[in-house]
Structure formats: C-alpha cells, structure tokens
Structure 1
Amino acid sequence: MLKVNKIYSLKLLIPAAIIYGLLFVFPTVMSFFFSFTRWNLREWTWIGFDNFKMFFDDPSLLIGFKNTFIFAFVTTILKVIFGLLFAVFLTSKIKTKDFLRSAIFFPVLVSTIAVGIAFSVLMHPSEGLINEVLAFFGISGPNWLGNPTLALYSVALVDVWKGVGIATVIFIAGMMSIPKDYYEAIQIDGGNKFDAFKNITLPLSRPATNAVIILALIGGLRTFDLVWAMTGGGPGFSSDLIASIIYKQYQAGFYGLSTAGNVILFLLVALIVFPIFKMLTRKEVDI
C-alpha cells in the first residue's frame, strides 16, 4: 500500500515539475550558457569569460553595486519598522482597522510603472504636489529626483510606500497566531502594553520578521522597474542599480554582456540571501 501511495503521489508532482522545469530551470540553464557567448536572435559565438570581464570593467558598475546595497538596506529596514508598527496598530481594538488594512495594502495592487510615473509627477520640483504642500507651510522643497544626492533615496521611499502593505499583512498574520494566554499572563504579572510588545509580540513575531526581511531584501537587490520609471538611473549614474545597468547594456545591443550581468545578479542575490536566511531562522522562537 505504501508503495502504491508513493507512486501515486509522484505522478501528481509530474505536471508541476514539467511546468517548473520549462519556466524556471530551462531558462536559468540557458542564461548561464548564453552568458559565455556573443549572441543575437540568429546566431551565437562562444567567447568564454569575456562578457564577465567586460561587465566588471564597466565604470558605472561600482556605482551600481553601491546604490543597490544602499537601496536594499534602506527599503528593507523601513519596511520592517513600518510594517511592524502598522501591524501593532491594526491588531489593536480600533473600529476602522478593516478599512485601514485595505488602505495600507492597496498600493501593492497598483502597477509599479504606474506608481513610478505618478510619483515622478508628484515629486516635480516646481509643479509637483509634494513641493506645493511644503511651500504652503513655508518650506522650500528639494528637487527630489533631479538632485544626485536625493534621487536614490526618493525612489527608495516610494518603494517602501508601495511595498509596506505586504510587510504589514505578514506581521499581522504572525501576531494573530500568538496565543492570547501569553498576554493575559503578563497582565496578571503587572506588565503594561510595552512589556507585552517587548517580551511577547517582538520575539514571537520573529518568523514574520524573518519573512519580511528576506522578501524585502530580495526585492531591493532586484529592483529595476520603479527606478527606471522615476529616474532612468539618473541624474547621471546617481540612482543606477545593477538591474538598470544590465538593461542599458541590453538596450545597446550587448545581449551576451547583459545576460552575464543577469547571471552575476542571480549569484549575488543567492550569496547574500541564503546565509542571512540561515542565520535568521536559527534564532526563531517556537510558540
């Protein structure tokens, strides 16, 4: 009977395995292959590691690496902080929490390109609504996307606004899984709400925190569409990320070079995320 059940379960996995192989494994293997070639839609030529050498010789690459790490770090930290605070607020006894949960999650559903275009208009230095509101209060607003110092951080804030809804939902799910008995026990012992947050909510929400960190970090390291919609990597190279540099190489017709860049980005994300994931999961607290 066990053998029959095992064979039956393996048959059920075959369709999913075929789809996964066609949509993920095969393209990944072919990307690794074509990263060692000079190719176009008609032909290819094997050139070994030349694409990787050219990619690392790109003078804008160092800026792209630095900006990518800054972007990923800033967006991850802010999503964790705001997601946790919103979740604490939205799991409290407030009458409009269902509406507020929907409102916070709504930006997640909007197209990233649409968000980028909308905020490009809102952040216009002279005609944008944000600076007009600041001017109403007597504050001179900066050139959010035209200032090389501010452009990357402006895009990062928009990314946080768009993605904090997912972080909030994950935190809410984690907090709602904590048994109420723990909170009742700390009240009996004379603890206040801060004590409950520090000693119960925060440590027992660690699995949710870990999930938010990993998802936000992967998203930050791979971000392209929002940056491209808002700044195009500019002014200059001040907001260029690795993904936008890869796209510029593709636009210029260097398909093999851009494929090598994608392989490097894939390996970079894996080398950063997997050790962090292992480190975080070792510290999780069982409920």
Structure 2
Amino acid sequence: MIVNHRHARPGARRRSAYPYALYAPAAVVYLVIFLVPTVMAFYFALTRWTLFDSTFVGLQNFSDFLAEQNLRIGFQNTIFYAVVTSGMKVVLGLLLGVLLTSRLRLRGFLRSVVFFPVLVSTVAVGITFSALLRPDTGLVNRVLTLAGVDGPDWLGDANTALLSVALVDVWKGVGLATVIYIAGIMSIPTEYYQAVMVDGGGAWHRFRHVTLPLSWPATYSVIILSFIGGLRSFDLIWTMTRGGPGFTSDTIASIIYKQYQAGFFGLSTAGNVLLFLVVTAIVVPLNYVLGKRQVAV
C-alpha cells in the first residue's frame, strides 16, 4: 500500500503543534507579568516620570544613581548579606537534612518545626525580632544578662546591625533549604550506604563519601536560590533597621526604596534596572560554574 505523503503532512504538522499549544497559557502569563514590566522598567529608567507624565533624560538617571554617596556601602552590604545568608543556609540546611532523615522518633514533628518559620510573614518576623533584640527590654539581652554577659545593641550598633538581620534571615529561610536537602538525601539509593557499611565505614564515612557528594543537586539549588534572595533582600532589612544606624546596613534594594520615598521615580527605576543587571551578572556565571560541578558529580 502506497501512502500519499502530501496528504499526511498537514496532519503531522497539526500533531506536532499540539504539545506547544499547552505552553500558551504559561507563555501569556510570563509575557504579561515578567517581559512587559521588564521592558517598561528599562524604558522608564531613561525618563523622569510621575504618575501622569514622563520626560526622556537618557542615561542621566543611571549616572545619578551611580554617583549616590552610599552606593558603595550598599553594594558591599548586599554582597556580604548574600554570602553570609546563603552560606549558613547551605551548612545548616545540610546538617538538619541529615538529622531529619535519620531514625528519629519525632522527625515528622521536627520537620514541621523547622519549616514553620518559612510560612510566617517576613514583616511579622522582622517586627518580632526587633522586639526580641532591643538592648534594654529584649528577651535576648535579658537571657545574656542572666548568664553574666552584657548584650550589645544588636540593631543599633553599626558593627552588629547587618549581621543580626542576616542571622534572622537564616532562621527564617533555613527551613526551605532543609526541605530541599531532605528531598535530595532521600533520593540517594540505599545501596550506596550499604556498600560503605560492608567496607566497614561508619556514619562519618557515609556522610563524607555518599551523602555529601550525591546531595550536590540539592546544594546547587540552595546556593542559587539563597544567593539570589540575599542579593534582592529588602523587606527584613527595612523592617528591622531601615538601613540604619545611619546608612551602615543599607543594601542596594533599601537605597532604591529611599529614592522612591523621596519621589525620584526615574532614579529609583534606574536603580532597579542596575540591581537586575548586577544579580544577572553574578548569578549567571555562578550558575554555570555550579552547573558544571553538578554534571561532574
């Protein structure tokens, strides 16, 4: 029997187009929520605008934002904050993931306890810890006083303000890192652990030679997600310190918000575009390097 390919082609084309039609709703949402606002942000970054009109000024907004006197401090704080929070989430998330995949009787309850802070509003967490870290009436310093230690002004001292916020960020976000690690560890075949036990290896050897290298995909995900979140962090910092004392805990995001508050909408939009470019310039190479490491593992 001879098949007429001329008549078969239109049907084949329709069949091949069928799976792509399923992407259409997601593509529309992505276009409306991400691509269109991004293009508009790039345009308005080149203007001085208000709610009712705009004036094209070219690259003047970028020049003015880069000349901001606190930008260097904000950039340093942003990198410090991202490195500290992502690093601690990786370490603590891995340790908690190992603990909560072991044979603990209360591991289900402990998993819920660890994940609970992720569900709490960031603003609520910031307000709560602002009260707990007060120098005179805060619970943290009261406990330290009972132990004979003079607690500092955690949020009012330039040396401790940003680090204090970073530690609160870790407390809130380590639950998500732990869940990712739990999923990664539970996906490791048990045969690998049995092989180490047959060779006489103990718990440390199982962790060092099986859990640590084979949970690299989880580590990769936690690093990327935490680092991006750290670079973009704003709400917790603003709730707890508002960039203070002075400008010592300002990040790029808080500097941008202060420009919005002052009514410099074009300037702050240029700052948002620059932040987007900074995050992209850091995360894309990081993703490439970590991705190669993931393939190697």
Question: What are the equivalent positions in structure 2 for 1:1-287 lying under 5 Å apart?
Answer: 2-284=12-294
Runs of 5+ consecutive residues of structure 2 not aligned to the other structure:
1-10
- Structure 1, 13-22 or 165-174: larger mean CA deviation: 13-22
Distance 1:60 1:286 in 2: 41
Deviations 1:172-203 (A, max 9, x none): 10000000000000100111110111111000
* Count of aligned residue pairs for this structure pair: 287
The structure whose Rg is larger is 2
SS state of the match for residue 283, structure 1? helix
Q: Which amino acid aligns with 2:92?
A: F
Deviations 1:102-161 (A, max 9, x none): 000000000000000000000000000011111111111110000001000000000000
Distance 1:163 1:77 in 2: 12
TM-score under structure 1 length normalisation: 0.98
TM-score under structure 2 length normalisation: 0.95
SS state of the match for residue 171, structure 2? helix
Q: Which amino acid aligns with 2:76?
A: K
CA-atom RMSD, angstroms?
1.0
The percentage of counterpart residues that share the same residue type is 57
Q: Which amino acid aligns with 1:246?
A: I
Distance 1:222 1:166 in 2: 17
Runs (4+) of structure 1 exceeding 2 A deviation are 1-6
Give, in angstroms, the shift of residue 286 of structure 1. 7.5
Q: Is the 8 A contact 1:204 1:285 kept in 2?
A: no
Runs of 5+ consecutive residues of structure 1 not aligned to the other structure:
none
